[in-house]
């Protein structure tokens, strides 16, 4: 069934190619993979002689019903679409592998976490949550980070996000959350955006979402690239060792390039200039051999420590502060191969939180427990048959053997009479694996208590970790959160919803609430939340959450500030970055080539942007412009460089060059100008903007080497101290 994805399946040669009859050349195996180079056939293999004209009665006559070739082609086309995912519809994925640094045999029996010699194949899909399949990549949203590992003990999926917490504590609220976030049902507006009444109405009545709100209003929801995002399993899981001992665990993916983001104005522009910004970047990087890498980290907690902290480890709206429970890095994942076919792989891949391997188990997190129902159910509706696990991208790489049979689109041809157990005929049915032989055994956690629809009081603090997040932000990060809330809430038409949100914000931080209130033209809140949430959360929130109006950080194990939450402490480098080099006839080619070389040495890419594509008559040799002002934009780059050269004063007359520099400046990116281009830069930026310490580099002489070095070091950084950013572009 499985084919090596690199090799096309056997093709059927035509008579014309080798002079032999087709019948003699039917391959023994079913060709599953095609590179479309074999002669054109119908879906049952009949060679097609004319694919340009349908069969008609006379050259100008009506089309004949007999034309099964036309009918088959149109019919297949008519059925090409499957339902898009109800959430996470827009995504992009890549293949790769996972390697373990050290065995975790003290904690788990899972081979993928104990065998350091193995290279486990993975397929990883990144996604936005709210938008449709055709929406823009840079919407403000959580990013899905779903990893499928093809282990020798079956597929293990970590179906995570790039944010470590979630909006709600109980899966029963998920359909409400998503209905509120999706376009409003009467008008189907807005697409891929939360800046509308129904979302904020729901949020303002759901205090448990406040921690998550701080994360999505931060720049975490505007990643620079997939490879610059963290990933989180979010829930608490269990690791089980050979002695049956359970340890609670949270999974983290730490990007080797660090965590970096865009800013909102930039993200909005990118959505128009290149809606495929993230998927294109990943595709191009992998194609160029710049693979994406993350380290897998774990935080662990013993059974005895389950109730040690003032947050509940079963509450998915809470993190375990890294200062309290450090992340141990245990392996590395590398994405090194683009999919061969978007539909067959990225669209048809089916993740499921219940795809576990022996040695890993669930916790009682009520959000996780609900997800464990939802994923299989959704795949049945999306992919249409329980045989979706036989699709090449979903099929485990280890043997699959059981008595499940039939259903639509069955691929496996099960031989023999036995499809039941116990059986003695035909060599009997597959044997169960014993626990000692690696069979999955659920952790025998003791369970007792009455059947209730209630939430534990230990889930009751909704503001403590929101405060921890706010307090851990740098100044610019706080400013971006304020601006995000000003934007989002100003788009809400219902005043009562805006006011309710201000009340919640006041409970997180008064300055934050005050600044948002000012932009909304509202008085600052008195810290009382007027509307209580409905249902079971009410009493719980009343017990701790709403009552807490102090500035003390609670539910954080005593941690008041966590550097791990801020992106300000992340390493920056030019690696994986893209730089625009503005060129026109008369540019100093040697300088351009020296810059390109220096960027490439640093793992970055320099792209020449000119007034037209192709030949640029450089001083010192010809150059080729790869992009023009018509098909690219400043927002698609991490830095902009205007080289020197006798012809470069011409650039000042190209209005787009001004916009390029001014916009890069506005978004805090490094900009540089040499020689003849310095005047252009000065004219593009506000007075006083030229400041090397603020990433604005100039060099009036022609010897640019020192500036090139300084510039390359600056690529990847953002200079938030530019005080005049609001006045330009």
What residue numbers does the annotated binding site for heme cover?
Answer: 85, 125, 174, 371, 375, 382
**β-sheet bridge partners, residue 296:** 253, 331
Tokens of 63: 């089309």
Residues in contact with ligand HDD, total (CB under 6 A)? Answer: 26
Stretch that binds ligand HDD, among 87-95, 203-211, 263-271, 647-655 (CB under 6 A): 87-95
Residues in 232-251 at the binding interface with ligand HDD, rule: CB under 6 A: 234
Report yes or no: 124 and 316 within 8 Å, Cβ to Cβ: no
Active site residue 161: yes
User: Between residues 385 and 524, which has the closer beta carbon with respect to ligand HDD?
Assistant: 385
Q: Closest distance between ligand HDD and the C-beta of residue 316, in Å? A: 5
Quick note: the x/- pattern for ligand HDD over 132-171, rule CB under 6 A, is: ------------x-x------------xxx----x----x
Q: Which residues are annotated as a binding site?
A: 85, 125, 174, 371, 375, 382
95, 125, 148, 182: which one binds ligand HDD (CB under 6 A): 125
Q: How far separated are the first and last CA of the chain, in Å rounded?
A: 56
Q: Which of 24, 53, 76, 88 is catalytic?
A: 88
88 is an interface residue for ligand HDD by CB under 6 A: yes
Is 16 or 185 the residue whose CB approaches ligand HDD more closely?
A: 185
Could you say which residues in the range 376-395 bind ligand HDD, by CB under 6 A? Answer: 378-379
Binding status of residue 695 toward ligand HDD by CB under 6 A: no
- Asked if 318 touches ligand HDD (CB under 6 A), the answer is no
Q: DSSP string covering 540-595, please? A: HIIIIITT--SS---SSTT----GGG-GGGS---STT-EEEEE--TT-BHHHHHHH
Nearest approach in angstroms of CB 168 to ligand HDD is: 7
CA–CA distance, 495 with 499 (Å, rounded to integer):
6
ω into 588 cis (within 30 of 0): no
Residue 23: helix, strand or coil by DSSP? helix
Measured from the CB atom, the residue of 165 and 497 that comes closer to ligand HDD is 165
The token pair that represents 275 in the structure block: 């809606």
CB of 128 to ligand HDD, least distance (A): 10
667 is catalytic: no
Binding-site member from 211, 269, 371, 666 for ligand HDD (CB under 6 A): 371
Q: In whole angstroms, what is the distance from residue 501 CA to residue 24 CA?
A: 73
Residue 80 CB, nearest approach to ligand HDD (Å): 19
Question: In this chain, which residue has its C-beta nearest to ligand HDD?
Answer: 144
Q: Name the minimum Å distance from CB 145 to ligand HDD.
A: 6
Distance of CA 723 to the CA centre of its chain: 32
Contacts of 537 (CB under 8 A, 6+ apart): 206, 207, 208, 455
Q: How far is the CB of 166 from ligand HDD (least distance, A)?
A: 4
Binding to ligand HDD by residue 314, rule CB under 6 A? no
CB 284 within 8 A of CB 258: no
Taking the C-alpha atoms of residue 437 and residue 153, their distance in angstroms, rounded to an integer, is: 11
Q: What's the CA gap between 439 and 16, in Å, rounded? A: 54
Is residue 82 within the footprint of ligand HDD (CB under 6 A)? no
Pairing of strands 246-255, 292-302: antiparallel
Check binding of 174 to ligand HDD (CB under 6 A). yes
For the chain, what is the largest distance between any 2 Cα atoms, rounded to a whole number of angstroms?
A: 90
127, 151, 268, 509: residue in contact with ligand HDD (rule CB under 6 A): 127
**Nearer to ligand HDD (CB atom), residue 278 or residue 666:** 278
Residue 279 in contact with residue 92, Cβ under 8 Å?
yes
Nearer to ligand HDD, 161 or 246 (CB): 161
- Which is the catalytic residue, given 95, 155, 161, 471? 161
Q: How far apart are CA 512 and CA 217, in angstroms?
A: 12
Contact assessment for residue 640 and residue 660, using Cβ atoms and an 8 Å cutoff: yes
Residue 94's nearest CA partner among 260, 357, 275, 290 is 290
**Can residue 220 be called a binding residue for ligand HDD (CB under 6 A)?**
no
Tell me how far, at minimum, the Cβ of 569 lies from ligand HDD, in Å. 24
Find out whether 266 and 635 touch, Cβ atoms under 8 Å.
Answer: yes
Counting contacts by CB under 6 A, is residue 632 touching ligand HDD? no
CB of 129 to ligand HDD, least distance (A): 8
**Neighbouring residues of 37: CB distance < 8 A, sequence distance ≥ 6:** 8, 11
Whether residue 660 contacts residue 639, with contact meaning beta carbons closer than 8 Å, is answered with no
Q: What residues line the site for ligand HDD (CB under 6 A)?
A: 85-88, 91, 125, 127, 144, 146, 159-161, 166, 171, 174, 234, 316, 349, 351, 367, 370-371, 374-375, 378-379
Residues belonging to the active site? 88, 161
């Amino acid at each position: 069934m499985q084919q090596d994805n690199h090799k096309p399946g056997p093709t059927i040669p035509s008579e014309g190619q080798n002079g032999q009859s087709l019948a003699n050349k039917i391959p023994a195996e079913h060709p599953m993979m095609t590179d479309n180079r074999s002669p054109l056939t119908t879906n049952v293999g009949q060679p097609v002689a004319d694919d340009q004209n349908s069969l008609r009665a006379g050259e100008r006559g009506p089309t004949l019903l007999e034309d099964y070739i036309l009918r088959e082609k149109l019919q297949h086309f008519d059925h090409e679409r499957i339902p898009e995912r109800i959430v996470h519809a827009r995504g992009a994925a890549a293949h790769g592998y996972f390697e373990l640094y050290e065995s975790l045999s003290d904690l788990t029996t899972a081979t993928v976490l104990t065998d350091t010699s193995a290279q486990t194949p993975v397929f990883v899909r990144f996604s936005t949550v709210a938008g449709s399949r055709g929406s823009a990549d840079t919407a403000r949203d959580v990013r899905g980070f779903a990893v499928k590992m093809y282990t020798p003990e079956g597929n293990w999926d970590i179906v995570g996000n790039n944010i470590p917490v979630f909006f709600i504590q109980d899966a029963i609220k998920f359909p409400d959350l998503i209905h509120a976030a999706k376009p409003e049902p009467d008008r189907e507006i807005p697409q891929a955006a939360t800046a509308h009444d129904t979302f904020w109405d729901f949020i303002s009545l759901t205090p448990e979402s406040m921690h998550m709100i701080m994360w999505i209003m931060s720049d975490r929801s505007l990643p620079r690239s997939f490879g610059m995002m963290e990933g989180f399993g979010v829930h608490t899981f269990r690791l089980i060792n050979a002695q049956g001992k359970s340890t609670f665990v949270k999974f983290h993916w730490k990007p080797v390039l660090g965590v970096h983001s865009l800013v909102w104005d930039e993200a909005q522009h990118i959505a128009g200039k290149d809606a495929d910004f993230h998927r294109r970047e990943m595709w191009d990087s992998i194609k160029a051999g710049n693979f994406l890498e993350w380290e897998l980290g774990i935080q662990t907690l013993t059974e005895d420590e389950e109730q040690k902290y003032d947050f509940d480890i079963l509450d998915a709206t809470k993190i375990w502060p890294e200062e309290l429970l450090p992340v141990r890095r245990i392996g590395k994942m590398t994405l090194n191969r683009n999919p061969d076919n978007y539909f067959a792989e990225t669209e048809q891949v089916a993740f499921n939180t219940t795809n576990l391997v022996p040695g890993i188990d669930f916790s009682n997190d009520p959000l996780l427990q609900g997800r464990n129902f939802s994923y299989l159910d959704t795949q049945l509706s999306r992919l249409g048959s329980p045989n979706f696990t036989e699709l090449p991208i979903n099929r485990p790489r280890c043997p699959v053997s059981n008595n499940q049979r039939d259903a639509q689109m069955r691929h496996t041809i099960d031989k023999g009479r036995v499809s039941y157990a116990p059986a003695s005929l035909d060599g009997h049915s597959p044997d169960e694996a014993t626990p000692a032989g690696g069979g999955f055994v659920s952790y025998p956690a003791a369970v007792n208590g009455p059947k209730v629809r209630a939430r534990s009081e230990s889930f009751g603090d909704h503001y403590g970790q929101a405060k921890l997040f706010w307090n851990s932000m740098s100044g610019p990060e706080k400013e971006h959160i304020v601006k995000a809330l000003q934007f989002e809430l100003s788009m809400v038409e219902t005043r009562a919803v805006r006011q309710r949100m201000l009340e919640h914000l006041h409970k997180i931080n008064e300055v934050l609430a005050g600044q948002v209130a000012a932009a909304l033209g509202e008085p600052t809140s008195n810290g009382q939340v007027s509307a209580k949430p409905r249902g079971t959360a009410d009493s719980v929130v009343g017990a701790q959450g709403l009552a807490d109006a102090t500035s003390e950080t609670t539910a954080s194990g005593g941690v008041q500030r966590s550097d791990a939450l801020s992106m300000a402490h992340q390493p920056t480098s030019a690696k994986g970055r893209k730089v625009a080099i503005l060129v026109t006839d008369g540019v100093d080619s040697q300088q351009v080539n020296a810059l390109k070389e220096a960027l490439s040495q640093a793992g970055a890419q320099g792209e020449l942007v000119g007034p037209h594509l192709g030949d640029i008559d450089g001083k010192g040799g010809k150059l080729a412009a790869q992009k023009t002002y018509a098909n690219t934009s400043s927002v698609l780059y991490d830095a902009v460089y205007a080289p020197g050269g006798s012809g470069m004063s011409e650039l000042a007359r190209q209005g787009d060059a001004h916009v390029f520099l001014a916009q890069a400046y506005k978004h805090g990116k490094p900009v540089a100008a040499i020689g003849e281009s310095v005047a252009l830069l000065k004219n593009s930026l506000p007075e006083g903007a030229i400041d090397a310490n603020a990433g604005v580099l100039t060099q009036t002489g022609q010897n640019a080497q020192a500036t090139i070095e300084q510039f390359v070091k600056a690529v990847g950084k953002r200079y938030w101290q530019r005080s005049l950013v609001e006045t330009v572009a």
